[in-house]
Amino acid sequence: MRSAVTIRDVAREAGVHPGTVSRALNEETRALVNQETAARVLQVAEKLGYRANRIARGLKTSRSHTIGVLIPDITNPLFPPILRGIEDRLAHDGYTALIVNTDNDPKRERSHVEAMRARQVDGFISATARLDRELLDEIGAGQVPLVLVNRSVEDRSVSSVTVDDRRGIKLAVDHVVSLGHSRIGHVGGPQNLSTGHQRYLGFVEAMQAAGLQVTERNVAFAGYFTEEQGAAACAALLAADPEITAIVAANDLLALGCYDAVRERGVRCPDDVSIVGFNDMPFIGRLLPPLTSVRIPHREIGTAAADLLLGQLAEGDGSANEVLLAPALVIRESTAPPAR
Amino acid sequence: MRSAVTIRDVAREAGVHPGTVSRALNEETRALVNQETAARVLQVAEKLGYRANRIARGLKTSRSHTIGVLIPDITNPLFPPILRGIEDRLAHDGYTALIVNTDNDPKRERSHVEAMRARQVDGFISATARLDRELLDEIGAGQVPLVLVNRSVEDRSVSSVTVDDRRGIKLAVDHVVSLGHSRIGHVGGPQNLSTGHQRYLGFVEAMQAAGLQVTERNVAFAGYFTEEQGAAACAALLAADPEITAIVAANDLLALGCYDAVRERGVRCPDDVSIVGFNDMPFIGRLLPPLTSVRIPHREIGTAAADLLLGQLAEGDGSANEVLLAPALVIRESTAPPAR
């Protein structure tokens, strides 16, 4: 490797003081330098191939300009657009994301958080869905800026960007009610995850508002947000009440599992059973049949989360902010009036 | 913030020399320390909440334990499983991925590479698809370990993990030929990207091997690997030769565009036109109709790429390795014998 070019080399070549070079190269202090001088310094720095040693600078300013981002699993189609929103917003301010997959496994989460703290990340954005406070303590909430995505904590001590889950489920329930359905089932998500729990509560609320009963017979819970678990819960639901004509699933993967369970039973969607998903994942409009789903603004969620975090870093205050984004129903071909 | 616990604090509490603590905490040197002592040091370090300052350590060992990963766009469904493979393999060795989206835009690529070099990444994995050598020069190939994913450079000077694109396209062509098709079109990818170019060459080869002609009339190129561009290229293809009964697309997004163009024309798939994709993206088996596609081992690609890079880091040699993975055809419902 060639030996690194230093600020002194640039200063010598540009005929200015090293301090001037330092100020000219830093966007935040460039305005303090004569404009012509700054231009010359930048030109010389580029010519010599000067590259700021950001690790050394990190020691000085305690900023690594990296943000730790925790997600359950990047192969869940929900997350790529959220990550894209996060990364684009961070890149705009010169930050880069360190992304890790946790599989919602407390042990993996802990070791990743440890590793990222050791790398001196400036803050965390977490989309992992655990409801307990343990993770927050590990991250050191209050000391290190933290923003939660797609979840919030009860006491509102931490900044978060969430979608109005109850409102989203109400849109889904109201839609099938307006089509004429009254035997409506819920394939719910894991109840230890805030999204799963809020959507279940939203289902109960919306059904009651529509004058319909919720009993044990028309709710089945999935242990995970997966197609397999959705299929199992849907099969249980239809076994308990074969008269169900519409199913509101707590997310799209569960809804895809419902497609499988319904087909397995020889029942057609939407002719015999209408199915509604949640998240409006990419490509579900191309499914057989195209899935009616509750759309959430994925990229905006990411942008808003990065925005909150950068705000905390800039202001250095620990006050929590909450951003609640509105869902919308996208009606496709998996829902229709009941056959009878 | 509470003041950080130092190695000296741990040493004092454990009753050993700071050098012993340092050796015990580093996995690579732990074997040099008496086992019982090492256990005591680790216990004390955990009790006191000691956290290695990896940035300071980075200055000393020149290792940041982060790897820069360049991808075109995380929202392209091809990349999440590759990234998952990369990250899991890296995490196993204590490395974390810094992921950036380049949109295959040379300017974005350059600024991201600059930023990551400034953060002293230990190596790069690049899945960006530009064929020119400029990026390689920016990365400083030969000085900084680099592994290319899903592309390679002509002179084989850089390690790469690729799928046998020509073989994959041959599987697709042979499949529709065996169904009885002879008027076969190719919706090709961008020819400045190695995947697009190799797949086009594979199409020409396979057609010739089957005794079929390739002319200007049965090939149309998309400017980008997007649904929109696939639809436009497919429309051009069908306008030039309305007798085409089968289309081999250079990837799944282009094939989805073909679905749209065919539907737009009032033509049915597979009744009137068979369509084959490439990549076997998640969920395409659930499309209307389920897409026949060439499957590539996404996660294994990522694992193999991380493997090569970690090997280079461990051995410190610059010799290039090539890993070529085999594709497989997954036959679904978008292909059928021609109507005539």
**CATH number for B24:** 1.10.260
Give residue B262's Cα distance to chain centre.
Answer: 30
Residues A179 and A158 in one domain: no
Residue A337 in domain: no
| Mean pLDDT within A45-65 | 64
Least confident range from A132-146, A257-271, B216-230: namely A132-146
Contact yes or no for B145/A1 (Cβ under 8 A): no
Q: How confident is the model at residue B4 (pLDDT cuts 50, 70, 90)?
A: low
Q: Judging by DSSP bridges, how do beta strands B66-71 and A219-221 pair with one another?
A: unpaired
Other CB atoms within 10 A of residue A263 CB: 13
**Residue B58: its pLDDT value, please?**
45
The radius of gyration computed from the CA coordinates of chain B, to the nearest angstrom, equals 25
Query: Which residue would you say has higher pLDDT here, B90 or A5?
Result: B90
Is position A1 within any domain?
Answer: no
Q: What is the DSSP code string of B288-332?
A: SSPPEEEE--HHHHHHHHHHHHHHHHHH------EEEEPPEEE--
Please tell me the distance from the alpha carbon of residue A144 to that of residue A138, in angstroms, as a whole number. Answer: 10
Per-residue pLDDT, A32? 67
pLDDT at position A234 is: 98
B82 chain-A contacts, CB cut-off 8 A:
none
The whole-angstrom separation of Cα B300 and Cα B98 is 20
pLDDT cut 90: percent of chain A above it:
53
Residue A258 pLDDT > 60, yes or no?
A: yes
A262 with A334: CB under 8 angstroms? no
One domain, residues B209 and B187: yes
User: Is the CB of residue A218 less than 8 Å from the CB of residue A183?
Assistant: yes
Determine the average pLDDT of the residues in A1-14.
72
Residue A35 has pLDDT above 90, yes or no: no
CB-nearest partner of A283 from B87, B114, B283:
B283
pLDDT at B57: 47
Check CB contact under 8 Å for B55 and A289.
no
Residue B59: per-residue pLDDT: 44
Same domain, A174 and A218: yes
- The confidence band for B206, taking pLDDT boundaries of 50, 70 and 90, is very high
- Reply yes or no on whether the pLDDT at A182 is more than 90: yes
pLDDT in tens, B195-205: 899 999 999 99
Pull the structure tokens for residue B93: 């060795």
Q: Does residue A51 have a pLDDT over 70?
A: no
Largest Cα–Cα distance of chain B, in whole Å?
Answer: 87
Domain contains B336: no
Instruction: For residue range A99-150, list pLDDT tens digits in order.
Output: 888 887 888 888 888 878 877 889 999 987 665 566 677 676 657 888 999 8
Cβ–Cβ under 8 Å, residues A84 and A303? no
- Structurally, chain B folds into a number of domains equal to 3
Chains A, B: CB contacts within 8 A come to 130
Strands B292-295 and A66-71: unpaired
Q: Are B98 and B119 in contact (CB under 8 A)?
A: yes
Please give the mean pLDDT across all residues of chain A. 86
Q: How close, in Å, is residue B283 to chain A by CA atoms? A: 8
Q: Give me the pLDDT at residue A27, please.
A: 66
Q: Are residues B32 and B126 both part of a single domain?
A: no
CA distances from residue B163 to A153, B168, B219, B280, B324 in whole angstroms, order as listed = 45, 8, 22, 13, 5
User: Whole-angstrom Cα distance, residue A104 to residue B78?
Assistant: 23
Q: What are phi and psi of A71, to 5 degrees?
A: -130, 155
Higher per-residue confidence, A78 vs A137: A78
- The DSSP code sequence of A239-269 is HH-TT--EEEESSHHHHHHHHHHHHHTT--T
Are B126 and B234 members of one domain?
Answer: no
For chain A, the first-to-last Cα distance in angstroms comes to: 77
Note whether A55 contacts B52, CB cutoff 8 Å.
no
- Please list every residue in chain B whose beta carbon sits closer than 8 Å to the beta carbon of residue A97: 98-99
Q: CA nearest A24: which of A15, A16, A33, A14?
A: A33
Residue B340: which pLDDT band, with cuts at 50, 70 and 90? low
| H or E element that contains A171 | helix A165-178
Considering the domain architecture, whether residues B78 and B104 belong to the same structural domain is answered as: yes
Q: Would you place residue B227 in the very low, low, confident or very high pLDDT band (cuts 50, 70, 90)?
A: very high
Rounded Cα distance, A72 and A148, in Å: 13
Residues A215 and A124 in one domain: no
Q: Which of B83, B119, B143 sits opposite A74 (nearest CB)?
A: B83
- Same domain for A232 and A195: yes
Using an 8 Å Cβ cutoff, are B286 and B257 in contact?
no
Q: Where are the beta strands (DSSP E) in chain B?
A: 66-71, 96-101, 123-126, 146-149, 159-163, 184-188, 219-221, 246-249, 274-279, 292-295, 322-325, 328-330
Spell out which residues of chain B touch residue A289, defining contact as CB-CB under 8 Å: 288
Rounded Cα distance between B165 and B38, Å, is 51
Average pLDDT of the residues in A178-197: 94
* Tokens 């929103």, residue located: A85
CATH number of the CATH domain containing A125: 3.40.50.2300
Give backbone dihedrals phi and psi of B21, rounded to 5 degrees, phi first.
Answer: -60, -45
In the prediction, which pLDDT does A60 show? 45
Segment B45-61 shows an average pLDDT of 61
Task: Work out the widest C-alpha separation in chain A, in whole angstroms.
Answer: 87
Q: Of B305 and B316, which is predicted with more confidence?
A: B305
User: Best interface-test mutation with A: which of B27, B51, B54 has the largest number of A CBs within 10 A?
Assistant: B54
What percent of chain B shows pLDDT beyond 70? 88
Helical packing angle, B35-48 and B18-25, nearest 10°: 90
Residues B277 and B222 in one domain: yes
Q: Residue B60's pLDDT is what?
A: 45
Residue A244: inside a domain: yes
Cα–Cα distance measured from residue B18 to residue B9, given in angstroms and rounded to the nearest whole number:
9
Q: Given this model, what pLDDT does residue B38 score? A: 83
The reply to whether B88 and B202 lie within a common domain is: no
Spatial distance between the Cα atoms of B65 and B114, rounded to a whole number of angstroms? 17
Nearest CA-CA distance, residue A207 and chain B, Å = 30
- For residue A332, CA distances in Å to A270, A271, A298, B231 come to 10, 13, 19, 22
- What whole-number distance in Å separates Cα of residue B253 and Cα of residue B291? 11
Q: Which residues of B123-159 are buried (b: 16+ CB within 10 A; e: fewer)?
A: bbbbbbbbbeeebbebbebeebbbbbbbbbbeeeebb
Q: Are B225 and B78 in contact (CB under 8 A)?
A: no
Residue B1 lies in a domain: no
Averaged pLDDT, B251-278: 96
CB-side neighbour CA atoms (13 Å) of B71: 23
Q: Mutate which of A286, A291, A333 to disrupt the B interface (most B C-beta within 10 Å)? A: A286
Decide if B251 contacts B222 (C-beta within 8 A). no
Helices H / strands E in chain B, number of each: 12, 12
Q: Are residues B135 and B21 in the same domain?
A: no
The pLDDT assigned to B32 comes to 67
Residue A22 pLDDT greater than 50, yes or no: yes
Q: In a 3-state reduction of DSSP, which class is residue B53?
A: coil
Q: How far is A283 from chain B (nearest CA, A)?
A: 8
pLDDT tens-digit series, residues A203-249: 999 999 999 999 999 999 999 999 999 999 999 999 999 999 999 99
- Give residue B101's identity as a one-letter amino acid code: N
pLDDT value at residue A56? 46
Of B54, B88, B287, the CB nearest to A288: B287
A338: in domain: no
**Mean pLDDT for chain B overall:** 86
Kindly list the strands in the beta sheet with A322-325, ordered across the sheet, starting from the edge strand earlier in the chain: A322-325, A159-163, A146-149, A123-126, A66-71, A96-101, B96-101, B66-71, B123-126, B146-149, B159-163, B322-325
User: Is the domain of B159 the same as that of B303?
Assistant: yes
Compute the CA torsion angle A292, A295, A298, A304 (nearest 10 deg).
-170
Rounded to two decimals, the pTM is 0.75
- Owning domain of residue B177: 165-296
Residue A235 falls inside a structural domain: yes
Calculate how close chain A gets to B208, using CA atoms only, in Å: 34
Tell me if B114 and A51 make a contact (CB, 8 A cut-off): yes
What's the rounded mean pLDDT across residues B82-97?
Answer: 90
pLDDT score, position A67: 93
The whole-number pLDDT of residue B120 equals 80
Residue B24 has pLDDT above 50, yes or no: yes
Question: Would you call B24 exposed, middle or buried from its count of C-beta atoms within 10 A (0-12, 13-18, 19+)?
Answer: buried
Classify residue A96: in a domain, yes or no.
yes
Q: Are A224 and A254 in contact (CB under 8 A)?
A: no
What does the alpha-carbon distance between residue A28 and residue B141 come to, in Å, rounded to a whole number?
A: 32
**CA gap A277, A152 in Å, rounded:** 22
Least confident of A284-288, B32-36, B65-69: B32-36
Beta B96-101 vs B146-149: how paired, if at all? unpaired
**How is residue A90 written in tokens?**
């961070």
Task: State the Cα–Cα distance between residues B125 and B40, nearest whole angstrom.
Answer: 39
Chain centroid, CA A172 distance in Å:
21
The pLDDT, as a whole number, for residue B240 is 94
The ipTM estimated for the assembled molecules is: 0.71
What pLDDT is stored for residue A42 in this prediction? 85
- Read off the tokens for B31: 């074997």
